[in-house]
Amino acid sequence: MSTLGNLRAPAASRTCGACSLCCKLIGIAALDKPIDQWCPHCAKSGGCSIYATRPDECRTFNCEWLVNPNVGDAWQPTRAKMVLHHVNDAGMDKVVVHVDPGSPQAWRKEPFYGELRRWARELLERNGTVNIYLGKRVIVVLPDRDVDLGAFNPGDKINFRKRRTATGWECEVSKAPAAAPPA
């Protein structure tokens, strides 16, 4: 059984507490807040100074550590230096990992890297991927290798194809740049 799921309510034993790493790593369009910069509304002791009126992007976000008790305590964002979440994008399951730029190799350390590879194997059966975000740079973790797709701009997408071979699945991953605006 997969340890990943679509649970959205926080697990009974977990709270954000003083953690607000998502307020740094994730871009918020409604606030014009870029990725990897602290939100101007993030309180120094943690929490949000506009909590009651925060945008829907913030209101509906919960990291995977917070909502999924099957995700180990090592993944607590301030400890891991990463924010992990599970999304379904046009029918494709994705584990998205936003890595703190102050610890860009955190995802490669154990127990994280082994778990990312295991999730990549699980997700492959469901046509899903594990995507590492280091600022605008995207790396896709596959069961047998990592594919660095480089910097992404708004509208860029990940092309993912797999095919069954005699020895298992063969995967291709590439970057699909956003369509150029009409002239």
Per-residue pLDDT of the chain (183 residues; tens, 9 = 90+): 244 444 456 667 888 888 999 999 999 999 999 999 999 999 877 789 999 999 999 999 999 999 998 999 999 999 999 999 998 877 788 999 999 999 999 999 999 999 999 999 999 988 899 999 999 999 999 999 999 999 998 889 999 998 888 888 889 999 999 876 655
Residues 89, 144 share a domain: yes
Which domain range does residue 22 map to? 18-61
Residues 128, 45 share a domain: no
Residues 152, 103 share a domain: yes
d(CA 137, CA 126): 24
Residues 74, 54 share a domain: no
Examine residue 57 and state whether it is found in any structural domain, yes or no: yes
Examine residue 51 and state whether it is found in any structural domain, yes or no: yes
Bridge partners, residue 11, by sequence = none
Residues 53, 71 share a domain: no
Largest Cα separation within the chain, whole Å, is 56
- Number of domains, the chain: 2
Q: Decide which of 41, 61, 81 is a domain's last residue.
A: 61
Q: How many CA atoms lie within 13 A of 15 on its CB side?
A: 4
Residues 126, 104 share a domain: yes
Residues 66, 46 share a domain: no
Bridge partners, residue 46, by sequence = none
Examine residue 181 and state whether it is found in any structural domain, yes or no: no
Query: Dihedral through CA 145, CA 151, CA 157, CA 159, nearest 10?
Result: -30
Examine residue 7 and state whether it is found in any structural domain, yes or no: no
- Contact criterion met (CB below 8 Å) for 107 and 83: no
Examine residue 2 and state whether it is found in any structural domain, yes or no: no
Q: What is the pTM of this model?
A: 0.88
127: its two tokens: 């046509």
Residues 78, 166 share a domain: yes
Residues 44, 113 share a domain: no
Residues 80, 137 share a domain: yes
Residues 97, 124 share a domain: yes
